[in-house]
Amino acid sequence: MKFFAINGSPRKACNTAKLLDESLKGIKSILTKAEVKRIDLYDIPFNGCKSCFACKKINGHHYGKCVYNDEFKPILNEIVKADGIILGSPVYFSDVTGNMRCFLERFQFPFFAYSDVEEVEHKRMPIACIYTMNCSEELSGQIGYNKTFDNYEYGLEMVFTKPEHLYVYETYQFDDYSKYVCDAFDEKERRYIRDTQFPKDLESAFKLGQKIANRSIND
């Protein structure tokens, strides 16, 4: 069995990446022989959907497949055959990152049928989403982040399965807060949250991975 964690953060050793790595450990705790792999989207030069509609052409050679031939295509061809996927993104400007948005377009659109009767045959693997943000849970609710996330997950559910999710709030953003203009945040408070709450978030990510492993067996 094969599972992927998709890192939508440009940082490969910070909050989102750590949570994704922990989720993969959770998968391995259930399925010890499973192959797990993290894909860092910012390492790959790629774009979102080109709207060429080759994936929807009647009797087309590429029906149900992304035709765009770039460095991402062979990776995408692997991902769509996975037994489970965990997506992770920080929240930038009240949304997932641009690279994660591009990934979602390429990941979902070939399998989304413009039809009430016809479906595109594909693997409906279990999916989870991890969102990291430096705002509080209360402020996230006021801004309406959950509605944005629900929209993404609704699209994933239509094409694949209903996603699990994990929200991680008030993340520690800088290695050294004194080097940056960031007086909107209390560094001591953020450090305290990092030291007390983030370990719990990592544990939640581990359990999230276990859920995906179990769903891949039982769904």
Helix axis angle for 198-218 and 187-196, nearest 10°, is: 40
pLDDT in tens, 151-191: 999 999 999 999 999 999 999 999 899 999 999 899 999 99
Q: Can you state the angle between helices 15-30 and 198-218, rounded to 10 degrees?
A: 40
Taking only the tens place, the pLDDT of each residue in 89-112 is 999 999 999 999 999 999 999 999
pLDDT, residue 131, reads 98
pLDDT in the model for residue 115: 87
Domain with residue 179: its CATH number is: 3.40.50.360
Count: domains in the chain: 1
Tens-digit pLDDT profile for residues 193-214: 999 999 999 999 999 999 999 9
Quote the domain boundaries for residue 115: 2-218
Percent helix, strand, coil in the chain, to 5, is 45, 15, 40
pLDDT at 114 over 90: no
* E strand or H helix at 47: none
DSSP reduced 3-state for 87: strand
